[in-house]
Amino acid sequence: MPKKSKKQRKRNELNFTGGDMYVQGEISGLMRLQDKFFNKDTAFTIEERQLLGIHGLLPPVVRNIEDQVELCLMQFLDIDDDLSKYTYMIRLGAHNERLFYKLLATHGDKCLPFVYTPTVGLACLNAAYVFQFPVVLFITIEDKGHIYDVLKNWPQADVRAICVTDGGRILGFGDMGAHGYPIPKGKVTLYTALGGVRPHYCLPICLDVGCNKSQVREDPLYMGLKRKRPPRTEYDEFVDEFMEAVVSRYGPNCLVQFEDIGNADAFRLLTKYRYKYATFNDDIQGAGVVALAALTSAMSISNTKLEDQRVLFQGAGEAGLGIANLLFVALKGEGLDDNEARSRIWLRDSKGLVAYNRPQGHLTEYKLTFARKRAHIQKLEDCIREFKPTVLIGVSAQSGAFSREVLELMALYNKRPIIFAMSNPPSKCECSAESAFRHTRGKCLFATGSPSPALEYAGEMYHVTQVNSLYGFPGIVMGAIACCISHLTPAIFLVASHTISSLCTDDDYRQCSLLPPLNKLTSCAFEIACNVVEYAYKSNLARRKPEPTDIRAFVKHQMYDLNYEPAIKTWLQEYEK
């Protein structure tokens, strides 16, 4: 008897008799309901339940996905505390993936803050309590020499987008080690929820290389390696092997997004890999995309030009330098030379003004680009008096850094001061919206890094813009993997930034809103993806051939369908593979 093919053997698990189909017992009905990719809960029709062996395992009611979404929303809103809302969403995603993403797409304004900023920071602080298995792939430095084998343990083989952290600089909390794992999980969730990337293409990874913060590492509930971080040489060898293993396992087109890596490591890895792999760092490059978009809108409202701005940064870490570098590229695009562009940008870190001859010692090479040739200035207020900035951007994770005096000085020197207090979580924000409007007497154009309600001041209602990278990276990732981009140039991030600002309307400007409303995030991601694909083909960065004749249709065809497929069709497709 001839040997049956793999396809035939799999098809035999489904038997057809007289036009009817029944499922043999090798895969139980309960197992089907525990498969998050397949499960539809009460949306299974009576016929599907009978054919798949799950009849009786569900109540008789049959609901469509829209009814399920509204029921889930009712359950979600009944939960009192933020951390429980986070765990509810994670559990829903692990149980019924399409319903989870449909809920996010339908009610993103209510649900997104509890799978991403700001609640993801609370999840990191309580990582041992909220852990759900498996949410991310953990690769430890003790796996060195065998990273490829660990990657093979992830159940999905067709991975096209990876978000990876080593927990070295989690939001404003610093080194959290393995307890930073909720960050990449939250990011890849937005790949799908906003960017439309199919969830089985996404892989969140935590590289556990140890933790230097003793209060985290020595906590009895800490889940990571109980060791300090390794020397740079050992660390770099480990990350090199990781990147090579990704290419070996998933191919050179797999995009790798680095997230919340320690400052020194983040800049070094970006410099090392940016033209070798399809990779980017959202804390550095993604922050620049959205900040520049908001700044562009602020200039439209205040009727000024980019080359007329003087921008002072409170904070010179990944976000500060990332925004400054993209701003520098944009200023050069406006016709300024290198020196003119740099003259518009001042940075202040924890040691004061970033200047060549300051007494605190040498500067890192990444700060030298924007170092001033002048006497050292320590206080932020004195920097403002000297530079008279039109824009003040806070990325220092220092709560209260924008004091009353700082805000009053900004209002003194500017008719419409632009003030971005971008640090996350809210407890680390440089100032509140209420403080900014009160101390500038309502003159400022203000944005913050976390969701904030509208604010009433002096009888007027002011919209508070959230300047967060969620406006940018989902669309960048979707566009990059759609065309199999070889690497991401600075121009890609300018394309994304210009796309975001172009979606603001006159109504947005009348409300002093510097970015499109949150209910346009999916549209924003789609437009970014299309523009990234178009730029990639024009610049010979796209590996996928031939070039599509209709880019919008090309991108849309690759996006995740939020609606249920017929259960029998889904299973047959799986068996046909």
Catalytic positions, please?
116, 187
What are the CB-based long-range contacts (under 8 Å, 24+) for 302-305? Answer: 302/415, 302/416, 302/418, 302/445, 304/390, 305/334
Give Cα 168 to chain centroid, integer Å. 16
The CB density around residue 408, as the number of other CB atoms within 10 Å, is 14
265 marked among binding-site residues: no
260 marked among binding-site residues: yes
Which residues have CB under 8 Å from 29's CB, separation 6+? Answer: 52, 53, 54, 55, 57
232 marked among binding-site residues: no
| Rounded distance between C-alpha atoms, residue 151 and residue 284, angstroms | 26
Residues 189 and 195: beta-carbon distance below 8 Å? no
Residue corresponding to tokens 């940018």: 472
Residues 478 and 195: beta-carbon distance below 8 Å? yes
- The reply to whether omega before 204 is within 30° of 0 (cis) is no
| Rounded distance between C-alpha atoms, residue 113 and residue 440, angstroms | 28
> Phi and psi of 377, rounded to 5°?
-125, 130
263 marked among binding-site residues: no
Pairing mode, if any, of strands 391-394 and 418-421? parallel
Adjacency order of strands within the sheet including 311-314: 352-353, 345-349, 311-314, 391-394, 418-421, 445-448, 465-466
Pairing mode, if any, of strands 418-421 and 445-448? parallel
Work out whether the CA dihedral 296, 298, 301, 306 comes out positive or negative: negative
Taking CA atoms, 476 is separated from 57, 137, 431, 470, 501, in Å, by 42, 23, 30, 10, 15
Residues 497 and 293: beta-carbon distance below 8 Å? yes
Residue 167: left (phi > 0), alpha (psi -120 to 50), or beta?
A: left
| Rounded distance between C-alpha atoms, residue 232 and residue 253, angstroms | 27
Residues 487 and 274: beta-carbon distance below 8 Å? yes
Residues 262 and 269: beta-carbon distance below 8 Å? no
Residue corresponding to tokens 């100032």: 431
Which residues have CB under 8 Å from 257's CB, separation 6+? Answer: 161, 162, 163, 164, 187, 279, 280, 281, 282, 473, 477
424 marked among binding-site residues: yes
- Per the annotation, binding residues for a divalent metal cation are 259-260, 283
Sequence ranges of the binding site: 169, 259-260, 283, 424, 468
Binding positions for (S)-malate are 169, 424, 468
